[in-house]
Amino acid sequence: MSQLFAVIGNPIEHSRSPLIHQQFARQMGIDLVYEKLWAPIDGFEAAVREFMERGGAGMNVTVPFKLEAFDLADEHSPRAKRALAANTLVFPQEAGGPIRADNTDGIGLVNDLAFHGVEITGRRLLILGAGGATRGVLEPLLERTPSALTIANRNPERAYGLVEEFADVAGDCLLSGCPLAAIEATPFDLIINATPASLARQLPPLPDEIIGPETTAYDMAYSAEPTVFMEWAASRGASPHDGLGMLVEQAAESFLLWHGRRPDTAPVRLALREAIARTEQRQD
């Protein structure tokens, strides 16, 4: 019998997770059903329990339920504990067993950067945004020992909070926070846009001096066309990437948790890129 999985969120219609997991499953010869599950804002737990009663084996969790998913679980991986948020749930196969929570967003980003050949060790990093995504990626980035990591946020208090919280894993890395307007005006090696601004076709107000031809500019958002952040980076000679690969890589880590095997992400990146181009053409 097919195993049952889902991605839960609100909204959820746009999610590409079913396509990704179905491609992984085909590659591995695994029989599974992967659904999109919409839950009302105040109905996350009820939707999860109902899914478990239907025999659900695992679930991906997206906006806005990652914190609730963490709270609902009985056991948490160290990286979920760090993020205080979960994007992956593993359900017990026997009644009364624990619900386990993990967070694969951070390793997804790090694996995608490695895929693109982007160095982290010894480099100067800038992260724009201090929300859930930044929280999820900070530890895996710091573990790769950048020389400096600056978190710049619209509300600087949130950036300062993260600096304090992650000081224990910063090691020799110079970890600091600042408002967007006060970013040090010299080119960074890697700038990660962890704000949703690109989804609204907005560019955070950034000094031009922070980017140069040696900079890699990574937008966690993705679309068929380059995002405004990627266009801004490319116009200054930097190398831009979007977050499509991060999405596929975090999914591969969830797949590994559920099935014990890690799929090859390269063909799925291509398939997803094509699927997005087809959908966005239809929407034009």
Task: Count the neighbouring beta carbons within 10 Å of the beta carbon of residue 242.
Answer: 25
243 binds ligand NDP (CB under 6 A): yes
Peptide bond between residue 11 and the one before it cis (omega within 30 degrees of 0): yes
Per-residue contact track with ligand NDP, 52 to 91, x per CB under 6 A?
Answer: ----------------------------------------
Among 221, 228, 233, 268, binds ligand NDP (CB under 6 A): 221
220 binds ligand NDP (CB under 6 A): yes
Report yes or no: 187 and 164 within 8 Å, Cβ to Cβ: no
CA–CA gap between residue 124 and residue 218 (Å, rounded): 14
Report the catalytic residues.
66
CA–CA gap between residue 39 and residue 224 (Å, rounded): 27
Q: Binding to ligand NDP (CB under 6 A): which residues in 250-269?
A: 250
Q: Quick one: which segment of 45-53, 74-82, 119-127, 151-159 binds ligand NDP (CB under 6 A)? A: 151-159
Question: What 3-state class would DSSP assign to 151?
Answer: strand
Among 106, 129, 187, 263, binds ligand NDP (CB under 6 A): 129
106 binds ligand NDP (CB under 6 A): no
CA–CA gap between residue 17 and residue 33 (Å, rounded): 12
Using CA of residue 55, residue 58, residue 60, residue 65, what is the dihedral sign? positive
Q: Binding to ligand NDP (CB under 6 A): which residues in 197-216?
A: 197, 199, 202, 204
- Total number of residues that touch ligand NDP (CB under 6 A): 25
* C-alpha atoms less than 13 angstroms from C-alpha of 162 in its C-beta half-sphere: 30
153 binds ligand NDP (CB under 6 A): yes
246 binds ligand NDP (CB under 6 A): yes
7 binds ligand NDP (CB under 6 A): no
Q: Of the candidates 217, 84, 74, which has an alpha carbon nearest to the alpha carbon of residue 138?
A: 84
User: In angstroms, what is the minimal distance from the CB of 94 to ligand NDP?
Assistant: 32
217 binds ligand NDP (CB under 6 A): no
Question: What 3-state class would DSSP assign to 159?
Answer: helix
CA distances from 232 to 105, 116, 118, 134 (A): 25, 19, 19, 21
Among 131, 161, 179, 226, binds ligand NDP (CB under 6 A): 131
Two tokens, residue 197: 């601004």
196 binds ligand NDP (CB under 6 A): yes
- The site for ligand NDP (CB under 6 A) is made up of 105, 108, 129-134, 153-155, 158, 194-197, 199, 202, 204, 220-221, 243, 246-247, 250
